[in-house]
Amino acid sequence: MAKQDLLFDSLTGKWEQGAFLGNGLLGVMVYRESPNALRFDLGRTDVIDHREGINPSIGRARLPIGRFLLETSAPITGVRLRLDLWNAELSGTLTTAKGTIRLRALVAATRDLILFGTETSGAETVRWQWKPEPAVSPFLTLGRDSAGKYPPNPPAQSGQSEGASYHLQPLLAGGGHTTAWRSISAGNWQWKAVALTNSREFKGFGDHGQSNALAQNTTGGTDASVSKALIELRSLQPAAIRSIIDAHRAHWHRFYARSFISIPDKRLESFWWIQQYKMGAATRPGALPIDLMGPWYRITPWPKYWWNLNIQLTYYPFFSSNHVALVQPLLDMVTGNIDNLSRNAPAPYQHNSAALARSGPYDMVSPVRVTKGNDSTGSSASMELGNLTWLLHVCYQAYEHTMDHRIQASLYPVLTRAVNYYRNIVEKGPDGRYHLPYTYSPEYPKGITRDANYDLSVLRWGLRTLLDANRTLGYRDTLAGAWKDLLDNLTDYPKDQYGFRIGRDAAFTLSHRHYSHLLMVYPIHDISWDRPGDRDLIRRSLEQWKRNDESWRGYSYTGSGSIHALMGEGDSTWKLLNEMMKGRFAIQPNTMYLEAGPVIETPLSAVTTLNEMLLQSHNGIIRIFPALPAAWSDVSFDKLLARGAFEVSAVRQGGVTRFVRIRSLAGGPCLLRTGFAGPVKMIGPGTVKLQPRADGLLSVSLKKGQEVILYSGQRPASLLARGVNGDDRNNYWGVHPMK
């Protein structure tokens, strides 16, 4: 893991070049404030205003908190810092003309505490300063609206109590958040312990949440956050610091054991590991889902949730990377807000429908205005009908990768309502097929069209999924007949000589960063490369999208790379990932990604694409090493997660797959395409039978907890997935001289 760490041989004054720490709720970004100071920006994902009746980009937006400054008595002349991924800690040395400062910083994984430690030598001294930020929506700060129309939040209150200092920021609509801190000496080390609390906190309920309301602590009002902060700090003694750090490290060591990859491209390998760390630092059960910035606040025009691609791409990599538990906040948000999702539909449909427009706050209030027979004159944002169903496609993978029927059952009512909205507005045409009215295909400049491929893709998936869930759960839903009729008679995807159109009325002729018109190819896989008759259509559609890339952004490269991966074209996928790293909107030195503000989905979506080069599991088949570049002769991975709840490990050496390990977490049949050249042998329980099929697939059925190891030829001497050799790009990421 040390080879993957981010190294900082200098620090700039840019957020996107800083070191980031987090525990799934609290976040810290570390970068340069001035020649004499480092800044430690604080963030908390549920510090959100909650005013009703105004623009949610202002009234229910993420809010800034503030920063701590570490000030030295002389200018900083040298920086040697390491973001130690294995221990999730920033450590190193600052040098000045007067001496050195040893620094440690972490956001505790098992306590909502931030710890900053310093040890000085020579004549150097350290002073910490707290610099609060006004609780103002970044939307107003950027001049996107008139601040004069919105009364400001009340002034902050500062004080001291129980040996700690605190800064309380009340909110006009009630509640508030507090930053509190105290100093602790432990030998030569001086620690600054920081608690960041909120009187309005996210409530998750059980394994499969029933509510996700941001509920104010009515017993304490705005003072509740002060009380909670002081409680966090009250018991801290030097020995407690050590215990917190030990528990923090143990948490992260368990986290990294969930999965493993090693590839010859060490820059990309390190990038993968840093994104695993980023996922674990950005969210956790019981917190809010990840928005566009995660817990690392930065001024942005996007201070809420965007539902037409961003959140979907953010969450896909959690499944194959074997971190499904971290998706729980998203499941809680969706299932807990079914009433608001229903009210997002037009009044005539609210009794049985649900919807979600382009963007909105944590309560998922974002109305859609599509009705049967509507014309094309509506607001594009309010005509994005497919967003909720696409989001449910993400959520449903939590079921597919665990086979936990409780998840399936919790999503069933929401998916039923999302599909019912479509049932309410389809009309049967003279051709005997059901057609959709005007909707909007996300972000295409002329994307208002009937029979939008975006909607047809997610609708087909929703119908098939409901019919399957109805059988699996034994519901005997009275709507099943209507679902099957709609599925069997739904109009075909509009297409032309270039491939898939945007919709019936809109050809794909303009540069477009989204691949919303291609969802049936990826990630829904309704149009499949496995079927030879679909291949020409897929290739024509992909090439038409790639032909004009002037509007492309980072996730355009990951999306097209994933389509090449499902086509088995690993060299093209690898090339596209490298182009994403260095393009006009390049991945930044700390692996964050910016356009007008942070957009966390792009680097995370690259993890999905890389995982799909190593393992794919769509349409009922697990594919091992399906899209490796020719240059990657040695590759290994351990415990990537496939649909059906199978942990998969595999090793390839000298261009030959040496072994594949399959472990079932839930029990069930498994279909495999291994790529072995000769007859396949198996190590496993005597009762398990491996059955080769005429189509080249292998079939094996496993009970929960059983595993088998497959190989061809001589039994491998080692059955461990180890690191492979590659280029010399260790510790590529961070801010340091290029070698």
The reported pTM is 0.96
Instruction: Tell me how many helices (H) and strands (E) the chain has.
Output: 17, 36
Neighbours of 35 (CB within 10 A): 11
Per DSSP, 147 falls in state G
pLDDT at 737 exceeding the cut of 90 = no
Q: Look over the chain and give the mean of its residue pLDDT values, rounded to a whole number.
A: 94
The band of 715, judged by pLDDT with boundaries at 50, 70 and 90, is very high
Q: Which of 123-137, 165-179, 723-737 has the lowest mean pLDDT?
A: 723-737
**Both structure tokens of 645:** 């709840």
Instruction: Please give the pLDDT value at position 223.
Output: 79
Instruction: Report d(CA 452, CA 392) in Å as an integer.
Output: 18
Q: Name every residue whose Cβ is closer than 8 Å to that of residue 152 and which is 6 or more positions away in sequence.
A: 134, 136, 172
**pLDDT grade, residue 202 (50/70/90)?**
low
What percentage of residues in the chain have a pLDDT greater than 70? Answer: 97
Q: For residue 126, what are its two tokens?
A: 């350290």
Q: What is the pLDDT of residue 727?
A: 86
What is 6-211+219-253's CATH number, 2.60.120.10, 3.40.50.300, 3.50.50.100, 2.70.98.50? 2.70.98.50
Residue 162 confidence (pLDDT)? 87
> Is 453 in contact with 517 (CB distance < 8 Å)?
yes
- Calpha distance 733→54 (Å, rounded): 41
Count Cβ atoms below 10 Å from residue 215 Cβ, excluding itself. 13
Q: Residue 146's pLDDT band (boundaries 50, 70, 90)? A: confident
* pLDDT reported for residue 166: 97
| Angstrom distance (rounded) from CA 191 to CA 514 | 47
Give the residue from 344, 485, 464, 337 showing the smallest Cα distance to 413: 337
CATH number of the domain at 635-712, please?
Answer: 2.60.40.1180
Report the pLDDT averaged over residues 636-654: 98
The pLDDT tens digits of the residues spanning 259-310 come to 999 999 999 999 999 999 999 999 999 999 999 999 999 999 999 999 999 9
First to last CA, the chain: 20
231's CB contacts (< 8 A; 6+ apart) are none
The answer on pLDDT for 191 being more than 70 is yes
pLDDT of residue 217: 40
- Those residues whose C-beta lies under 8 Å from the C-beta of residue 257, and which sit 6 or more positions away, are none
Is residue 384 exposed (0-12), middle (13-18) or buried (19+ Cβ within 10 Å)? buried
What is the DSSP secondary-structure string of 700-731?
EEE-TT-EEEEEESSPPS----------S-TT
Question: Which of helix, strand or coil describes residue 216?
Answer: strand
pLDDT at 213 over 80: no
The residues of the chain that CATH labels 2.70.98.50 are: 6-211+219-253
pLDDT at residue 214 greater than cutoff 80: no
Instruction: State the alpha helices, DSSP H only, in 214-324.
Output: 223-234, 238-256, 266-282, 310-315, 317-320
For residues 335 and 620, what is the distance between their CA atoms, to the nearest angstrom?
27
Q: What is the mean pLDDT of residues 684-704?
A: 95
- Per CATH, the architecture of 298-623 is what? Alpha/alpha barrel (1.50)
Per-residue DSSP letter, 498: T
DSSP state of 298: -
3-state secondary structure of 93: strand
Q: Which of 314, 313, 290, 293 is nearest to 302 (CA)?
A: 293
Where in the chain are all domains bearing CATH 1.50.10.10?
A: 298-623
Q: How confident is the model at residue 728 (pLDDT cuts 50, 70, 90)?
A: confident
Assigned token pair, 604? 């995370």
Collapsed DSSP state (helix, strand, coil) of residue 636: strand
Q: What is the 3-state secondary structure (H, E, C) of 329-393?
A: HHHHHHHHCHHHHHHCCCHHHCCCCCCCCCEECCCCCCCCCCCCCCCCCCCCHHHCCCHHHHHHH
Answer yes or no: is pLDDT of 220 > 60. no
What percent of the chain is helix, strand and coil (3-state, nearest 5)? 30, 25, 45
Burial 569-584 (b: 16+ CB within 10 A, else e): bbebbbebbebbbeee
Residues 621, 671 contacting (CB under 8 angstroms): yes
pLDDT given at position 210:
31
Residue 200: per-residue pLDDT: 78
Q: What is the pLDDT of residues 54-81, one digit of tens each?
A: 999 999 999 999 999 999 999 999 999 9
Q: Is 197 helix (H, G, I), strand (E, B) or coil?
A: strand
Q: What is the mean pLDDT of residues 635-647?
A: 98
Q: How far apart are alpha carbons 544 and 546 in whole angstroms? A: 5
Model confidence at 205: pLDDT above 50: no
Cα–Cα distance between 68 and 726 in angstroms, integer? 40
